Amino acid sequence: MEAVQAQVVAHYRSELVDRIRAFGGILSADGRLTIKLAKEFGFCYGVERAIDLAYAARKVFPPPTSIYLLGEIIHNPEVNDQIRNMGIRTLSANPTAEEMSLLRPEDVVIIPAFGTEVSTRKRLAEKGCNNLVDTTCGDVMSVWKRVRQYSKESVTSIIHGKAKHEETKATTSQATAYGAGHYLVVYDLAETDSVCNYILNGGNKQEFLEQFKGAYSPGFDPEVHLQAVGVANQTTMLRGETEEVQRRIKSAMEKRHGTGNLAEHFRFFDTICGATQDRQDALEKMLKEPMNLLIVVDEL
């Protein structure tokens, strides 16, 4: 990774950003234009590490060794273009049978910062592909640790996130890979309220399952699998919203089972990404100041 630092910096360092930072985050021109930079700006540690590892993989395994990337290293077109320009080929995040047929045991496979599904890892192992460059973010793996524990305790993971996002798919696969765990993904507070209402009052099971179609584990039964739940999250969701999801579900379980029995029916751990929170806080602070135009540069 040290050997490729200069190359990474050359591709992604901005002279304009460096200049604004040198002036304390504020740059003015002729008294007519002022540019302010959020205090926390740029790639977080997890993203920087993923990019560094991808560049390092090409350095360590030069052509003719084939290197494949599962999906996108991060959701940033420029970064992914640079990865492709290094001769690293892209497969689907969950490779098709045709894509898997391309792989040989000597090939290198890069797992992106979001992680990958347990089933995909198993398929790679069965194919004999053991040269894996795993760039999975440490904060994502912390979430996996929690949902695996829920699974082993037969506790359903309620995951605040986007059901179709690569990170959430990887997390849900962890929730069902061990023990007798199940999962349910809630996107927002409206869906959280639907879950809480079912916990407290029951309801039409088929209507509930239709509402959350594509966002729960195989065999999920709300009458059975909402008896004991643990909250987790996609690491890039808003912290305040995740905390409110946790608060509402905790309140519903407390009302349903009583304060004295809460520990048997509810779990929660803080799995919000610290870097994500720092950037959200910096943006919130900036929004309190008057401005004519806000430009958001998204890395994930």
Beta strands 131-134 and 89-91 are: unpaired
First to last CA, the chain: 22
> Which is the catalytic residue, given 167, 243, 244, 289?
167
Q: How many CB atoms lie within 10 A of CB 125?
A: 11
- CA dist 236 and 7 (Å) reads 28
Residues ≥6 apart with Cβ < 8 Å to 44: 273, 275, 276, 279, 299
Q: Are 87 and 37 in contact (CB under 8 A)?
A: no
Q: Are 52 and 110 in contact (CB under 8 A)?
A: no
Alpha helices in the chain (DSSP H): 5-12, 15-22, 45-60, 77-85, 97-100, 118-127, 138-152, 166-175, 189-201, 205-211, 222-225, 239-257, 262-265, 274-287
Cα distances (angstroms) measured from residue 49 to each of 7, 33, 93, 129, 199: 14, 35, 19, 22, 41
223 is catalytic: no
> Which two tokens mark 224?
């059975």
Question: Which residues are annotated as catalytic?
Answer: 167
